Amino acid sequence: MNTRSILRTALRPLICSVSTLALIACGGGDDPVTPPSGNQAPVITLASPAADATYRAGDNITVSAAATDREDGPLAANRLTWWIDLHHDTHSHPAQPVTNGGSGTFQTPVRTEVSANVWYRVHVRAVDSAGRTTEVTRDVRPQTAEVTLASQPPGCGSRSTASPSPHRTASPACKGWSATWVPPRRWSTGAATPSAAGATAVPPRTRSARPPPTPPTPLPSTTPARPTTCRPR
């Protein structure tokens, strides 16, 4: 055996060790990559409502969601809950209570807050077997129309649930809503005839001017006759 062969044989274990270390450092070799430690939260897929969904008053909002978990796999429906809140300006009202499952339908009411600055927020929550939760939300915005109040004769100052001020004659509102117009208690002639675009109105009661009350007719003043009593003398 010559000197070259002796050196190759002696250095072979060292070369293999260096190669193995290089593979491990680069993510190769036979050693597995250690996964992240700890339980991971579920991942929710919200198929409905769509990200750009809108509604008219009276429409149905359909909720359809599913969830998967790294440790548990696809989660059963009883691991999901959903609910809906009605938002108006900076506050909110419960619309649909917490409901078990990942799907359901909510019908928007017709007689409700009619301002254009309202929307429904859908909440979906999933919980895995270890109690780790995930929650997602999606907003559903209203389709709006400009509502104008008018009367005949003009200027009766009628009020409505959509525009409570008698001086505000036009305002944006959700399409499909229903409101009640209330005519003034008294006016001189005619009857208020409100009209609106994009809304269903309940006709107001017709009232005419009230005549002044007629004072009661006084009864004639009479003095009752005194009874005559005959007394024996």
99-108, 143-152, 158-167, range with the lowest pLDDT: 158-167
Structure tokens at 32: 């597995």
Q: What's the confidence (pLDDT) of residue 145? A: 79
State the Cα–Cα distance between residues 138 and 64, nearest whole angstrom.
12
Q: Is the pLDDT of residue 133 over 70?
A: yes
Q: What ranges do the domains of the chain cover? A: 43-142, 144-205
Calculate mean pLDDT across residues 36-45: 88
Q: What's the confidence (pLDDT) of residue 175? A: 73
Please report, for residues 1, 2, 8, the alpha-carbon distance to residue 13 in angstroms, rounded to integers and kept in the order given: 19, 19, 10
Calculate mean pLDDT across residues 52-72: 95
State the Cα–Cα distance between residues 170 and 181, nearest whole angstrom.
13
CB-neighbour burial class of residue 27 (10 A; exposed 0-12, middle 13-18, buried 19+): exposed
State the Cα–Cα distance between residues 119 and 195, nearest whole angstrom.
25
Which DSSP letter does residue 145 get? Answer: E
Assess contact for 5 and 98: CB atoms under 8 A.
no
Q: What's the confidence (pLDDT) of residue 48? A: 97
Cis peptide before 49 (omega within 30 of 0): yes
Q: Is the pLDDT of residue 76 over 70?
A: yes
Q: What's the confidence (pLDDT) of residue 117? A: 86
pTM of the model: 0.58
Q: What percent of the chain has pLDDT over 90?
A: 39
Confidence of residue 196 (pLDDT cuts 50, 70, 90): very low
Assess contact for 120 and 85: CB atoms under 8 A.
yes
Q: Which comes out higher in pLDDT, residue 114 or 80? A: 80
Cis peptide before 153 (omega within 30 of 0): yes
State the Cα–Cα distance between residues 16 and 117, nearest whole angstrom.
71
Find which of 72-86, 143-157, 218-232 is predicted with most confidence, using mean pLDDT: 72-86
Q: What's the confidence (pLDDT) of residue 192? A: 43
State the Cα–Cα distance between residues 118 and 168, nearest whole angstrom.
19
Q: What's the confidence (pLDDT) of residue 79? A: 97
* Helix or strand run (H / E) with residue 225: none
| CA dihedral for 111, 116, 118, 120, sign (positive or negative) | positive
Confidence of residue 95 (pLDDT cuts 50, 70, 90): very high
Q: Is the pLDDT of residue 205 over 70?
A: no
Q: Which comes out higher in pLDDT, residue 202 or 88? A: 88
Q: State the average pLDDT for the chain.
A: 73
Calculate mean pLDDT across residues 118-133: 96
DSSP letters for 107-119: EPPSSS--BSSEE
User: Is it true that domain 43-142 has CATH number 2.60.40?
Assistant: yes
Beta strand residue intervals within 13-153, DSSP E: 43-48, 54-55, 60-69, 73-74, 80-88, 91-100, 103-107, 118-127, 133-142, 144-148
Q: Which comes out higher in pLDDT, residue 206 or 211? A: 211
Please report, for residues 50, 63, 142, 143, the alpha-carbon distance to residue 53 in angstroms, rounded to integers and kept in the order given: 5, 12, 9, 10
